[in-house]
Structure formats: C-alpha cells, structure tokens
C-alpha cells in the first residue's frame, strides 16, 4: 500500500507541473501577441494610425487674405476689405428644434419654422431656404453641406450664433472677406466691383485683380464629435498674405464734387447721362472721373447689368465742334493759317466736290478770322480754311491726337473711337471731320487730345494708377516716365489756346463761361446722333478747355447725352464753369496777371 500511495503522489505532481507549464506558455503567447500588437501599433504602423486618428479628429480651415485697398492720390480709402461670413447648412441634420421658453417650459419648433427663423436673419425668403435644403437632399440623401448665403455682415453673424445657441445647431458660418466702398457711387464705374468670391468683376477691381488679390493662409485644429473646434487647439499652418494697395491718381474730394455737379445737371436737364473728366495738363494724371448715373459698388444689383460701366471709357459719341480747335491747331502747325486768317462765312457752303455744309443757325454773310470761326463756331468757315489741309495730313493729325486709339490704361471693356481712314472719307465726310461729325470718340480720348493741346502741343500718356504697394515695401505698376510726343508746335498750341480764350470772352456762351480774374480757354460742341441711318432730334452737349489759358495746368472736359431742355452745348457750359471754379479752388490757382488774348473775330 505505501508504494501504491507514493506512485499516486508522483503522478499528481507531474500533472500539476504540466498544467502550470501550459498556463505559463499561454500567458507567454498572449503577452507575446500583445507585445507584437503593441510594436505594430506604436512602431510599425504608428505614423499611419496617428494620421488616421488625426484625420477623424482634426479639422482644417482657410485664413482668408484681405483684398488690398484702393486709395486715391492722397491715401483716402476708396475701396477696402471687411470681415464677412458665408452661411452654410447641413441639410441631412435639419430637424425640429427643442428650446426652453421664458417660463422654463420645453417647446418644440417645427423644422419649417426653424428654417423660416434662419431666413429672417439672413434676409432670404423662407421658401428659398427650404428649397436649398430640399434640392441638396434630392441630389444626395445624406448631404451635410449646402450654402445658404454668402458675405453677410457681423450683425447677421451674431444673430445666427444666437439661433445656434438656442438649438438650431445645423447652421454654420465660415469667416471670409468682403468689400466696402466708403464713398458709394463716387467713381464707382471706374472702381468697379467684386463677386461673391471677392474677385474682381468690373472696372479697376477686375483690371488690377492680380495686385489686389492676396494669398490665403491655412489653420489646423482638433475638433469635437459635432465638428466644433476645441478651444486652444488651433494652430496657423500658413500665414495669409494680404493683397497689394492700389493707389490711383484720382482725388476723392474733387471727384465727389464733380459727381454732385454732373448729377445735378443730368437731373436738371433730364439728360440720359453726363461725365466730367479733370486731367493735369503737364503730367497726364487724371484727377477726377465723374459720371452720372454711376454704379454704387456697395449695391451692384441696384444697377442694371448693361449699366455697370464707366461711360468715359466705354461709351462713344460724336463730339461736334470741340474738334474745331484741333483743326485750327493742325492748320497753324502746318503753316496754312494764323489766328488772323480771313474767310467769308455764309450760312451754307457748297464745295466743288458736291458736299453741302451749313451752320447750326441761319445768319447773314460774315467776314471772320480763324479766331472768329471758333468764336461763332462756324462750320462753313472751318470747312473753307480746313480744306487747305489735305485729307491725309488732317487724318494724321487726328490720329496723333489719339482718336481711334485705346488710352493705354487697359481699362476693362474700353472702347476705341471711330476715325475711318482718310481713303474711306466720302465728299461730305471730308469736311464734317473738321468739325467733329462723321467721327466717334470716347470721353477718355477727348481728355487725352486736349491734354496734348494744353501741354503746348506735347501729348503724354494718361495716368490713372500710381502703383501697387505690397506689405513688404515692394511697389509694382508705377508708370514709367514717358517722353512727350510732339503733336503740334508750341506756337500752334498757344495761338489755338488764345483763340479758345476769346471763345470764353467773345463767344456765344461768354456770360456762362467767364470767370473774373482768370484766363480760361474753352470750346463747346454739339454732336448729332444718327441711329439706324436716321438723324435724331437729340444731341450730345460737350465743353472742353483748360485753365489758365496762358500756361494751362488743368484740362476739364464735360459731356451730356440727350439734354432735354437745352439741346445744344448750352447745357454743358454752366457745368464746365463750375467745374473749372472748383479746380481753381482745389489747387489754389492764382488769378492771372498777364493780359488776355486779343484775337479779333472779324475783319
């Protein structure tokens, strides 16, 4: 028995060892598996898993770069950037909203009413917001993103945040950048406008988009399960780079005054539109472009699409008698006339080529000098003196003055005037081009031509932009100093300006144009309109000139389309005078100290 008992003990002891060994092996295997798994997670696939985790819990956003400012020559803000917000919605999550009312009771707001609340804040119609949600879900039943509206202001953003706090959690906002124009419609057609994405769509906003557009930055953050950025986790991964500041030659104060002036006359004369351009004679810098009606870039939708323009650059018109000084200057430069050149001016003139020319109003035979031709604005006198210059040479002068050419300012949609080659002139056009008929110009072309005349015969490129300045101090786009192009001699220009001075003192509109103490040179124009081959009974009323006449510093050009009550240059004359007076005040032009020009109009 004892032996048997001993064998049982030994057998039991071996069985226990086996169980312990197996258990240890199992533990080792399990621990080994965990170790292998741990190494796989923390070493082998660590980067991959971390990236996957971050992708689920991290968010990224855009830091919008502010669009560059547009300023006038004195640094006055004409266009600037403001913080705006785009409003989005998660269509799939739109549901009833539970709230606690003022009495502490729980109330449920139906989804349709909640959407109507959002619409009331964003300024949309409730049915439009509901349609946005429905359309998104129709395309994708699980759609969690759709735009409601773009570019809302801070007050709207705050109101939306209050709705979000009260349970309308499926509304979101994204910060972006918008545009503001402190002066409203002043130079609005020139400044242009931007779209919902803050990119330029018209005017200088479009032409100078590469200057004004900055480079957006990026940011990263950790987010909660409901996609809200966790406080303290946001880091900037790329700093935004603001756009450049565009500096113009325009003077905001002068432009404002001119705009009020032309708008007042457009209203008083019930004209279709009007413009005033002020240019520095000796530099070519444009100091004012006033237009009425004018686009307000703050409210682009208030202006019809076809009217979102700058008429100075984009409208053509027949200039009429403002061309006569250019014809006179060409004749004097060519040595074919002087201010005292004589002509017998009848009401009608019938040249040998079969053309028929007449003056605006019937009159007796007049014995006029070239100065008198300008004073009385005689078409027949201009024609008889002008025919001394061949068609080819006269065309070359007009071409050199800039007619039929773009201004070089690269304004979007700029039109070029129509100056047909001299070989295409018929017998009538041969004469009418001498006094601004049979030719179309733009306001900017007319301003450029008179700049050349006022700059004593030397034409300079017109300037509207002084340059684009970036935050690092870099300046681009500054115009290079241009060499003046001689169009007519200094003598021809001075004598022509002197004859234009007698237009102010002795001409039809002297009472409307004279400014005591100042020598002003000017010429009026009444342009005909032909539509579909039919001569209209409406006109373009123009006035162009310079001050002071003996040494011009500024050129002023005025145009009115279809003035109703004064259907001639009489509509433009008072506007021109007031514009010149403001230029004198603005730039402190002293009274003239030299005697005025003395060119008799008759002999």
- Give the chain's domain count: 2
pLDDT at 182: 95
Does some domain include residue 264? yes
Q: 242 in a domain, yes or no?
A: yes
Half-sphere exposure of 565 (CA within 13 A, CB side): 8
- Cα 201 vs. chain centroid, distance in angstroms? 8
How far is the C-alpha of 478 from the C-alpha of 244, rounded, in Å?
13
Read out DSSP for 472-537? TS-EE-PPPPPPPEE-S-HHHHHHHHHHHHHHHHHSTTHHHH--TT---EEEEEEEEEEETTEEEE
* Inside any domain, residue 154: yes
Closest CA to 598 of 464, 520, 502: 502
Summarised one tens digit per residue, pLDDT across range 528-545 is 877 777 777 778 999 999
- Both 301 and 161 in one domain: the answer is no
Q: At which of 191, 226, 247 does a domain end?
A: 247
Which positions of the chain have pLDDT values less than 70? 1-14, 40-41, 46-47, 49-59, 221, 223-232, 234, 567
Query: DSSP strand E in 505-585: where?
Result: 521-531, 534-547, 554-561
256 in the same domain as 243? no
What pLDDT score does 4 carry? 45
Same domain for 322 and 208, yes or no, is no
Nearest to 185 by CA among 316, 340, 320, 290: 290
Assign residue 278 the CATH number of its domain: 3.40.710.10
In-domain check, residue 25: no
Alpha-carbon gap, residue 93 to 603, rounded angstroms: 92
Task: Return the number of other C-beta atoms located less than 10 Å from residue 418's C-beta.
Answer: 14
With both helix axes pointing from N to C terminus, report the angle between 490-506 and 443-454 in degrees, rounded to the nearest 10: 110
CB burial of residue 244 (10 Å; 0-12, 13-18, 19+): buried
The answer to whether the beta carbons of residues 478 and 469 sit under 8 Å apart is no
Nearest CA-CA partner of 500 in 517, 522, 524: 522
Q: Closest Cα to residue 398, out of 440, 351, 460?
A: 440
**Which residues, 6 or more positions from 601, have their beta carbon under 8 angstroms from its beta carbon?**
368, 369, 371, 372, 375, 376, 502, 506
Q: SS3 of 75, please? A: coil
Q: How many CA atoms lie within 13 A of 59 on its CB side?
A: 15
Distances (CA, A) of 214 to 7, 76, 245, 479: 93, 21, 10, 22
Q: Is 69 a domain residue?
A: yes
Same domain? For 241 and 256 the reply is no
Cis peptide before 293 (omega within 30 of 0): yes
Phi and psi at 202, nearest 5°, equal -160, 160
Q: Is the peptide bond before 397 cis (omega within 30 degrees of 0)?
A: no
Residues 402, 474 within the same domain: yes
Domain that holds residue 388: 252-587
User: 216, 57 in Cβ contact below 8 A?
Assistant: no
**Could you tell me if 254 and 287 are in contact, meaning their C-beta atoms sit under 8 angstroms apart?**
yes
What is the C-alpha separation between 294 and 298, in angstroms, rounded?
Answer: 12
The reported pLDDT for the residue numbered 451 is 98
Residue where one domain finishes, among candidates 200, 224, 247: 247
Return d(Cα 190, Cα 431) in angstroms, integer.
35
Contact residues for 93 (Cβ-Cβ < 8 A; gap 6+)? 144, 169, 170
pLDDT of 381: 98
Here the tokens at position 358 are: 């007449």
Give ∠ CA 538-543-545 in degrees, rounded to 5: 165
From 247, 273, 296, the end of a domain falls on 247
Instruction: For residues 433 and 575, state if they share a domain.
Output: yes
- Domain assignment present for 540: yes
Sign of CA dihedral 291, 201, 287, 596: negative
Q: Encode burial over 552-572: b for 16+ CB neighbours within 10 A, e otherwise.
A: bbbbbbbbbbbbeebebbbbb
Q: What is the pLDDT of residue 225?
A: 55
Task: Give the integer Cα–Cα distance in Å for 296 and 438.
Answer: 34
Give 243's DSSP letter.
P
What is the distance between the alpha carbons of residues 239 and 235, in angstroms, rounded to a whole number?
10
138 domain residue, yes or no: no
Residue 355 sits in the same domain as residue 504:
yes
**Domain co-membership, 402 together with 532:** yes
Q: CA–CA separation, 79 vs 77, rounded Å? A: 6
Claim to verify: residue 329 and residue 473 sit in the same structural domain: yes
What are the residues whose beta carbons fall under 8 Å from the beta carbon of 82, sequence distance 6 or more? 153, 177, 178, 179, 180
In this structure, the answer to whether residues 390 and 476 fall within a common structural domain is: yes
Do residues 543 and 278 make contact, with C-beta atoms less than 8 angstroms apart?
no
Closest CA to 373 of 343, 410, 330: 343
Compute the distance between CA of residue 99 and CA of residue 243 in angstroms, rounded to an integer.
Answer: 44
Residues whose CB falls within 8 Å of the CB of residue 446, separated by 6 or more in sequence, listed in order? 277, 319, 322, 542, 544, 557, 559
CA nearest neighbour of 300 among 205, 163, 400, 405: 205
Q: Are residues 261 and 236 part of one domain?
A: no
Residue 546 lies in a domain: yes
Pair 229, 258 in one domain? no
In this structure, what CATH number is given to the domain that contains residue 233?
3.90.1310.10
Dist. CA 198–CA 463, nearest whole Å: 26
* E strand spans, 181-293: 193-194, 200-202, 217-222, 235-238, 245-248, 273-280, 286-292
Q: Which residues contact 517 (CB under 8 A, 6 or more apart)?
A: 591, 592
pLDDT at 1: 45
């Amino acid at each position: 028995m004892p032996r048997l008992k001993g064998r049982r003990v030994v057998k039991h002891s071996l069985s226990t060892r086996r169980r312990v060994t197996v258990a240890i092996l199992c533990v080792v295997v399990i621990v080994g598996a965990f170790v292998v798994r741990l190494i796989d997670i923390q070493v082998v696939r660590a980067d991959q898993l971390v990236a996957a985790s971050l992708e689920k819990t991290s968010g990224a956003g855009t830091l919008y770069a502010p669009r560059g400012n547009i300023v006038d020559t004195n640094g006055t803000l004409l266009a600037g950037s403001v913080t705006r917000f785009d409003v989005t919605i998660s269509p799939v999550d739109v549901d009833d909203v539970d709230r606690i009312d003022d009495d502490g009771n729980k109330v449920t707001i139906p989804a349709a009413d909640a959407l109507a609340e959002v619409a009331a804040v964003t300024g949309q119609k409730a049915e439009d917001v509901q349609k946005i949600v429905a359309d998104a879900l129709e395309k994708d039943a699980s759609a969690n993103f759709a735009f409601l509206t773009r570019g809302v202001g801070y007050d709207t953003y705050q109101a939306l945040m209050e709705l979000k706090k009260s349970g309308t959690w499926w509304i979101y906002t994204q910060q972006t950048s918008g545009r503001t124009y402190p002066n409203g419609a002043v130079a609005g057609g020139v400044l242009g406008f931007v779209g919902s994405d803050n990119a330029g769509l018209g005017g200088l906003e479009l032409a100078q988009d590469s200057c004004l557009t900055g480079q957006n930055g990026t940011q990263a953050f950790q987010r909660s399960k409901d996609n809200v950025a966790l406080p303290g986790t946001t880091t900037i991964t790329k700093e935004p780079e603001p756009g450049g500041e565009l500096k113009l030659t325009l003077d905001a104060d002068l432009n404002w005054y001119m705009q009020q002036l032309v708008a007042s006359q457009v209203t008083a004369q019930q004209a279709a539109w009007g413009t005033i351009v002020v240019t520095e004679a000796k530099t070519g810098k444009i100091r004012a472009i006033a237009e009425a009606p004018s686009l307000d870039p703050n409210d682009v939708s208030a202006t019809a699409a076809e009217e979102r323009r700058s008429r100075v650059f984009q409208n053509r018109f027949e200039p009429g008698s403002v061309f006569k000084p250019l014809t006179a200057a060409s004749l004097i430069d060519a040595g074919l006339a002087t201010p005292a050149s004589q002509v017998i001016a009848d009401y009608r003139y019938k040249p040998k080529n079969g053309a028929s020319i007449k003056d605006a109003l019937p009159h007796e035979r007049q014995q006029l000098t070239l100065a008198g031709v300008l004073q009385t604005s005689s078409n027949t006198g201009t024609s008889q003196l002008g025919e001394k210059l061949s068609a080819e040479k006269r065309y070359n002068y007009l071409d050199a003055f800039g007619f039929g050419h773009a201004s070089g300012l690269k304004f979007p949609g700029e039109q070029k005037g129509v100056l047909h080659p001299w070989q295409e002139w018929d017998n009538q056009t041969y004469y009418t081009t001498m006094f601004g008929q049979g030719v179309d110009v733009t306001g900017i072309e007319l301003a450029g031509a008179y700049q050349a005349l006022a700059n004593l015969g030397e034409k300079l490129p017109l300037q509207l932009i002084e340059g684009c300045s970036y935050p690092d101090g870099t300046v681009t786009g500054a115009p290079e100093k241009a060499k003046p192009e001689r169009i007519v001699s200094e003598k021809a220009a001075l004598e022509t300006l002197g004859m234009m001075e007698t237009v102010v003192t002795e001409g039809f509109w002297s009472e409307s144009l004279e400014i005591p103490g100042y020598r002003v040179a000017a010429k009026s124009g009444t342009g005909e309109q032909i539509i579909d081959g039919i001569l209209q009974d409406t006109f373009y009323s123009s006035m162009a000139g310079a001050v002071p006449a003996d040494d011009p510093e500024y050129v002023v050009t005025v145009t009115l389309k279809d003035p109703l009550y004064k259907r001639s240059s009489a509509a433009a004359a008072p506007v021109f005078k007031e514009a010149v007076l403001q230029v004198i005040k603005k730039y402190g032009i002293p009274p003239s100290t030299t005697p005025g020009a003395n060119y008799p109009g008759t002999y």
